[in-house]
Amino acid sequence: MTLLEVENLRTYYTEDDGGLVRAADDVSFSIEPGETLGLVGESGSGKTTIAKSIIRLLADNAEIVDGSITHRGTEITDLSKKALNREIRWSEISMIPQNAMNAFDPVYTVGEQIVEVITVHERGTSTAEAMERARQLFEDLGIDPDRVDDYPHQFSGGMAQRAMIALALALNPSLILADEPTTALDVVIQDRILETIKRMQEEYDSAMILITHDMSVVAETCDRIAVVYGGRIVEIGDAETIIDDPRHPYTLGLRNAFPDITADDQALISIPGTPPDLVDPGEGCRFAPRCPFADEECWEVTPHPVEYEPGHLVECHRADEKAFLQAEAEKRETWLGQEVGDPTADRAPVEEVDD
């Protein structure tokens, strides 16, 4: 049975001047139990909004306007806050935030906070039992169990992130939302934390949505990848398909922007232009202004997802020209073309990385 099903989700933010920011616009995807889905995209593409819609942690000015989110058949968007707290939050869906250090309450020890989560959600569990579980979790995550008595500020960044993973796993949830869990850490620690998350997720048999802007992170960790652009999922499919055989020009561009360790002496190619303004985006493909392959149809008609291989959906009018797109996208000249409608794009915004 599908664990989580998101259908036609639209989450809009109302700005002070009354404008609507369509941060998630017609987003659909699903997750099977135990699966890891990566949400990749630039900053401001709507990845976090999608995750926060699932656990209903949206800001006061944001609203789920349309669509449904079902967890094992239960509609989450309709649940009262009380029912949501009791049935879904943390016991079924937990979250690993970006900056664990600030995500702990500074006045309680980390152990006390894990104990609180356990005793509040599982009535009848004694404090001593809960503390024992907290110590066990710490041990599983490679932290000295005696550190449960420490306060958050006594932890290093990586250790706080591990403690946060312990907290996320405390109730053995069916789904973990990891919102850029390694962004605040240095590269060495990042790698270890990802390994830990992966290992724990398998051990505890939880599904995970991993939100990141880092293509290499999802490549290593995820079973499936959804590429988010301008509040929409532009391409979704198996990790291998998205990494090795993508069809969407944006995915091709993202892939170029990250180094391939097998190739030597490569210069990274970046995608020109900036993410779209999500206030009233209008008709047409949202990537068209930055897309080197955009034609008239792309500007006028909003594309809809088309399934090319089983489970591989692409939202692009020219996705059927796979071979052409892939060949052209590898060439630097392709991405030097000016951004249509943006007169400043002549100054080829290409970053060169020499190493």
Partner 1 sequence: MATRTRPGWRDLPEKLSSGSRWIAGKFRVFEGDRIGQTGLVLLFGIILIGIFGRPITLDLFGMSQTLQPFSLAPYDPSVSHRGPDGRLLRLEGPSWAHPLGTNHLGRDVLSRVIVGARVSLIVGTIAAFMAVFIGTNIGLTAAYFGGWVDDVLMRITDIAYGLPFLPFAIVLLAIMGQSIYWIIFAIVIILWRSTARVIRSQVLSHKNRPYVESAEAIGASNLRIMYIHILPNVLPLAFLYAAFAVGYAVIAEASLSFLGFGPPEMISWGGMIFTAFNQDAIRQAWWWVFPPGLMIMFFVMSVFFIGRTLEMVVNPELRHRE
- Residues near partner 1 (CB under 8 A) are 55, 57, 60, 82, 84-86, 88-91, 94-95, 97, 99, 102-108, 116-117, 120-121, 151, 153-154, 167
- Pairwise CA distance, residues 114 & 130, whole Å: 8
**Number of other CB atoms surrounding residue 123 within 10 Å:** 6
Place of tokens 């993973």: 165
Cβ-based nearer residue to partner 1, 193 or 215: 193
Cβ-based nearer residue to partner 1, 89 or 317: 89
Q: How far is the CB of 117 from partner 1 (least distance, A)?
A: 6
Distance of CA 225 to the CA centre of its chain: 9
Token readout for 287 is 């990537």
Q: How far is the CB of 72 from partner 1 (least distance, A)?
A: 17
Q: How far is the CB of 179 from partner 1 (least distance, A)?
A: 10
Q: How far is the CB of 49 from partner 1 (least distance, A)?
A: 14
Closest CA to 176 of 198, 147, 154: 198
Q: Which residue type sits at 245? A: D
**Number of other CB atoms surrounding residue 312 within 10 Å:** 20
Q: How far is the CB of 349 from partner 1 (least distance, A)?
A: 33
* Start-to-end C-alpha separation, the chain: 48
Ramachandran bin of 10, using left for φ above 0, alpha for ψ from -120 to 50, beta for the remaining angles? beta
Q: Which residue type sits at 326? A: Q
Cβ-based nearer residue to partner 1, 179 or 339: 179
Query: How many residues would you count in the chain?
Result: 355
Cβ-based nearer residue to partner 1, 99 or 270: 99
Q: How far is the CB of 211 from partner 1 (least distance, A)?
A: 14
Cβ-based nearer residue to partner 1, 105 or 346: 105
Cβ-based nearer residue to partner 1, 108 or 299: 108
Q: How far is the CB of 107 from partner 1 (least distance, A)?
A: 4
Cβ-based nearer residue to partner 1, 105 or 205: 105
The runs of H, that is alpha helices, within the chain are: 47-55, 81-83, 100-103, 110-121, 127-140, 157-169, 187-204, 215-221, 239-244, 249-256, 296-300, 322-329
- Locate the DSSP E strands across the chain: 4-14, 20-31, 36-40, 62-71, 74-75, 93-96, 175-179, 207-212, 224-229, 232-238, 306-309, 312-314
